[in-house]
Amino acid sequence: MKNYFIKTRLILVLFLFTTISLMGQSSSIFKKFDSYQTLTQIWELQPDSTSETFLITAHKPTYILPFRFSSHRREVNFEVVPPVDVATEEEIELNNVEATMQFSFKTKLAQRIFGNGALWLGYTQKSYWQVYNAEFSRPFRETNYEPEIIFNYPVQFNFLKTKMLGFGFNHQSNGREGHKFTRSWNRFIMQAGFEDKQWSLLVRTWIATEISENPDIEDYMGRADATFNYRLNKHLFTLKGQHSLRLGDDNQGSIEVDWAFPIYGNLKGYAQFFHGYGDAMIDYNQIHTIAGIGIVFAGTL
């Protein structure tokens, strides 16, 4: 157990070092906010909030969860050479507890398109680290990569306080080779954003292409999703859901609840609960119930 805590401290030190380095290069992504960012601030929907192009800004939350527990063992295909005393025909049993890290950023490529429209380039990377699995040298079992290009246009509709309409192209994959391990899909996404005072809602639906490697991925990772944020003083509560939009045997999806809370100064805690399919691409068709705790970095919410 002592070794586990030592390794956890190393994770935090490395992540903080990377963060400080990024702050020196691009302070815009980590600048201090009086409260959590609104949808209008994130996507610069007001004329007075428009910044210059090619500045790095926050996209999705950047966080580290040193402890993330899954109710099901990750008995998935895993590329690793086992020790000589482990039978090679047996599937490697991964630990229930692991560390998860995500960083995400975006930059504006062009603005004032058709009036007030803007074109964005975003990138998100999420890694799953079996840091407590000393038997197999603490490997990264999976990393998911998600570049995307997004066009957003600000609107002002009274219906549900509509603030934004947009569309984009999204690629998501785990960067691995071979039919046994590779996971990927491309999506043409349409989205709408709603906001009023303390809450915001982002609803997306998509058409998936190039899914021959995993033809049933839409039945598990969905054909639409929604993200609801509620700001309460210094706390941010997030509810995310995705669904296959099908009934019967294909009636599947996931739900995630996140809670960001103050610890000290700009340091914020982050708690996460997930149930359903699609937590990681490698085992998108396996159901998991997951709970994690860690920290989220200021300026990325």
Q: Retrieve residue 86's tokens.
A: 């482990």
Q: Retrieve residue 119's tokens.
A: 């074109």
Residues catalogued as catalytic: 171, 173
